[in-house]
Structure 1
Amino acid sequence: MILNFSFKLTAAKGKLWCSFSLYKRYRVVSTAPVDVLWQKLINLADVSWHPLFSQANVPLGLIAKPGLIYQVVTRLTPIPIRLFVENVRPGELLSLRVLAIPGMEQKITYQVESTLCGSYISYSVTLRGWLSPLIWWLIKPYSARVASELANAAERLV
Structure 2
Amino acid sequence: MILNFSFKFIVGRKGFSFRFSLARTYRVVSSASVDVLWEKLINLGDVSWHPLLTSTNVPRGLIAKPGLIYNAVTRLMPIPIRVFVERVRPCELLSARVLAIPGVEKRVTYQVESTVCGTYVSYSVTLRGWLSPLIWWMIRSSSARVAAELASAAEQVSLQAQG
User: Structure 1 stretch 137-146 or stretch 13-22: which is displaced more?
Assistant: 13-22
1:106-144 deviations in Å (ceiling 9; x for gaps) = 100000000000000000000111010000000000000
* Unpaired segments ≥5 residues, structure 2: 159-163
Q: Residue 60 of structure 1: CA displacement?
A: 1.1
Q: Partners in 2 of 1:14 and 1:152 — Cα distance?
A: 50
Q: Partners in 1 of 2:131 and 2:152 — Cα distance?
A: 32
1:34-68 deviations in Å (ceiling 9; x for gaps) = 00000000000000000010001111100000000
Q: Partners in 2 of 1:79 and 1:145 — Cα distance?
A: 21
| Counterpart AA for 2:5 | F
Matched, 1:143 2:143: yes
* Unpaired segments ≥5 residues, structure 1: none
Q: Partners in 1 of 2:102 and 2:108 — Cα distance?
A: 17
Aligned to 1:130: 130
Q: Partners in 2 of 1:79 and 1:127 — Cα distance?
A: 19
Coordinate RMSD, CA, aligned: 0.6
Q: Partners in 2 of 1:156 and 1:39 — Cα distance?
A: 13
Q: Partners in 1 of 2:119 and 2:130 — Cα distance?
A: 36
Aligned to 2:93: 93
| Counterpart AA for 1:67 | G
Aligned to 1:25: 25
1:82-123 deviations in Å (ceiling 9; x for gaps) = 000000000000000001111111100000000000000000
Q: Partners in 2 of 1:51 and 1:103 — Cα distance?
A: 23
Aligned to 1:55: 55
Q: Partners in 2 of 1:100 and 1:14 — Cα distance?
A: 27
Aligned to 2:161: none
TM-score with structure 1 setting the length:
0.99
1:155 match: secondary structure? helix
Change beyond 3 A, Cα 1:14–1:69: closer
- Identity among equivalent positions (%) equals 71
Runs of 4+ in 1 over 2 A off after TM superposition: none
Q: Residue 152 of structure 1: CA displacement?
A: 0.3
User: Structure 1 stretch 6-15 or stretch 131-140: which is displaced more?
Assistant: 6-15
Aligned to 1:106: 106
Q: Partners in 1 of 2:23 and 2:39 — Cα distance?
A: 26
Q: Residue 14 of structure 1: CA displacement?
A: 4.6
